């Protein structure tokens, strides 16, 4: 059955509002991954951290995120998307307060892991929840609101950190300032928690639970009664063909879905975005820029990320996922090759490095940034969507952990040129993988996508 959505019937205002509320989870994601960048210097002095402990204080969040993403799937298939998002908001808020009040670094690590679990849960379930509630023709854009929120969160925290750092003298920054940077996270955490109480549960999850009456009421609010009836029949039909066992992921076309989800998740990280996001000022300092100039350049990176995420939102349901991934990975590869070349030849004094780092960030922002989270939320069958998405999400966070841990080691070991060329090779692999394996999912309902995998030869 064809579930293409009639634009005129879609209550875009309602579904956009619901998606915006869910996307606050992305804001927390951006806030929490970037807040440490402004705080870590003061914490080093406060707690006398050596380089190992510094690395641990930064990366323990990702360990929490891996754990959270791992559990999010199974728990959300069982208890629902909405309840788990509320839990994520609670964990995030507890983590924020806990990170603000520790007297020892171990207490801090525990609090960050708790917050990280919340981030892992919300990073997995926000895209999935929006994908399950959004009409097919707007799904790309609506799910990508999550990425927009991540980027806004990252940019906002740079300003929060700077404002806090300037609010007192150096001694105050070391004793107290950094605590505010973490503690202020309670505000978006609580807002997320309260607003979540107002949004509906995912209609697809409700139908799977046998609560079709509620599901159809929600679909009706989104698309009108007639379309809702068509959709619910389609969802029922799909669910009938699903076993609900994870074994399904290793059969027929679903194997390819799993491959696409996990490989794209890893490629999103190993192409090096967070080497730039987490270490940008250090990279710019290597080009000879002073501290102030390197911080300004970092702010420009944030602005470019934001602007091109908006461009992606505009394009994603028009030109499709695959074309954007191809253009994006090609441009990422080219810019990384040039950045590597600049370091190789020592030609780093001019604007070359900045310009091509910005091109890389722009290319990532229109492609692998939003689209990977979107694709992993839309390609799996409904009964196991939570668990399957979680596998890809765990792979993504683990790859993030590996890249952010090894980047400084690579820089001092093999040097900047080879490090950026390694990321360039990964971008070329990303291009080839997209070209040969990734299918286009633009405009298709989730049930349509499921049938597409089913049609693959066993």
Asked if 357 interacts with ligand BGC (CB under 6 A), we say: no
141, with CB counted inside 10 A (0-12, 13-18, 19+), is buried
Smallest separation, CB 306 to ligand BGC (Å): 9
Angle, vertex CA 38, rays to CA 37 and CA 39, nearest 5: 95
The whole-angstrom separation of Cα 382 and Cα 100 is 39
Number of residues near ligand BGC (by CB under 6 A): 11
- Other beta carbons within 10 angstroms of residue 194's beta carbon come to 12
Tokens 């959505």 correspond to 5
Query: Any contact of residue 273 with ligand BGC (CB under 6 A)?
Result: yes
Looking at beta carbons, which pairs linking 163-169 to residues 24 or more positions away fall under 8 Å?
164/38, 165/38, 165/42
Min dist CB 200 to ligand BGC, Å, is 26
Q: What mask of x and - would describe binding to ligand BGC in positions 145 to 164, judged by CB under 6 A?
A: --x--xx-------------
By the rule CB under 6 A, 369 interacts with ligand BGC: yes
The residue (of 312 and 382) whose beta carbon lies closer to ligand BGC is 312
73 or 369, CB closer to ligand BGC? 369
Torsion sign (Cα): 24, 26, 29, 31: negative
The residue within the footprint of ligand BGC, chosen from 277, 331, 333, 384 (CB under 6 A), is: 277
Q: Name the residue number minimizing CB distance to ligand BGC.
A: 369
Helices 446-454, 252-270: axis angle to 10 degrees equals: 120
Q: Is the torsion defined by CA of 276, 277, 282, 285 positive or negative?
A: positive
Q: Out of 305, 348, 404, 419, point to the residue binding ligand BGC (CB under 6 A).
A: 305
Q: Tell me if 231 contacts ligand BGC by CB under 6 A.
A: no
CA 217 – CA 212 distance, rounded (Å) = 9
Kindly state whether residue 238 participates in binding ligand BGC, applying the rule CB under 6 A: no
Task: Identify residues 95-154 at the interface with ligand BGC (CB under 6 A).
Answer: 147, 150-151
In the complex, what is the shortest distance from the CB of residue 218 to ligand BGC, in angstroms, rounded to a whole number? 28
Torsional class of 320: left (φ above 0), alpha (ψ -120 to 50), beta (otherwise) = left
x/- mask, ligand BGC, residues 397-436, rule CB under 6 A, reads ---x------------------------------------
- 374 in contact with ligand BGC (CB under 6 A): no
Pick from 274, 393, 416, 434 the residue near ligand BGC by CB under 6 A.
274
Phi/psi for 258 (5° steps) reads: -65, -45
Binding residues vs ligand BGC (CB under 6 A): 147, 150-151, 268, 273-274, 277, 305, 369, 373, 400
């Amino acid at each position: 059955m064809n579930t293409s959505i009639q634009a005129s019937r879609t209550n875009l205002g309602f579904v956009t509002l619901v998606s915006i509320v869910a996307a606050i989870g992305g804001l927390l994601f951006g806030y929490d991954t970037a807040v440490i960048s402004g705080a870590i210097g003061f914490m080093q002095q406060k707690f006398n951290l050596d380089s190992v402990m510094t690395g641990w204080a930064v990366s323990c969040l990702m360990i929490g995120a891996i754990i959270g993403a791992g559990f999010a799937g199974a728990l959300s298939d069982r208890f629902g998307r909405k309840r788990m998002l509320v839990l994520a908001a609670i964990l995030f808020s507890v983590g924020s307060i806990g990170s603000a009040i520790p007297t020892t670094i171990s207490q801090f690590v525990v609090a960050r892991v708790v917050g990280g679990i919340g981030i892992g849960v919300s990073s997995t379930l926000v895209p999935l929840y929006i994908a399950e509630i959004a009409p097919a023709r707007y799904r790309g854009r609506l799910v990508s609101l999550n990425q927009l929120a991540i980027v806004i969160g990252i940019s906002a925290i740079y300003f929060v950190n700077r404002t806090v750092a300037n609010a007192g003298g150096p001694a105050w920054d070391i004793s107290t300032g950094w605590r505010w940077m973490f503690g202020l996270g309670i505000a978006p955490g609580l807002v997320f928690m309260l607003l979540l109480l107002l949004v509906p549960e995912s209609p697809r999850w409700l139908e799977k639970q046998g609560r079709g009456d509620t599901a159809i009421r929600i679909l009706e609010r989104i698309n009108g009664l007639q379309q809702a009836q068509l959709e619910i029949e389609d969802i029922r039909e799909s669910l009938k063909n699903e076993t609900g066992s994870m074994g399904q992921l290793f059969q027929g076309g679903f194997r390819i879905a799993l491959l696409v989800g996990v490989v794209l998740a890893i490629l999103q990280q190993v192409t090096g975005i967070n080497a730039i996001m987490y270490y940008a000022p250090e990279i710019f300092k290597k080009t000879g820029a002073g501290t102030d100039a390197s911080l300004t350049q970092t702010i420009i990176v944030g602005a470019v990320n934001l602007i091109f995420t908006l461009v992606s939102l505009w394009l994603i349901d028009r030109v499709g996922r695959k074309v954007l991934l191809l253009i994006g990975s090609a441009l990422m590869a080219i810019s990384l090759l040039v950045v590597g070349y600049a370091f190789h030849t020592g030609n780093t004094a001019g604007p070359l490095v900045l310009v091509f780092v910005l091109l890389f960030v722009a290319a990532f922002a229109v492609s692998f940034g939003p689209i990977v989270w979107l694709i992993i939320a839309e390609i799996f069958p409904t009964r196991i969507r939570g668990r399957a998405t979680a596998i890809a999400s765990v792979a993504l966070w683990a790859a993030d952990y590996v890249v952010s841990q090894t980047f400084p080691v690579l820089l001092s070991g093999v040097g900047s040129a080879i490090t950026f060329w390694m990321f360039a090779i990964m971008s070329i692999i990303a291009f080839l993988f997209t070209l040969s394996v990734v299918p286009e999912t633009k405009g298709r309902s989730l049930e349509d996508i499921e049938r597409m995998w089913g049609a693959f030869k066993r």
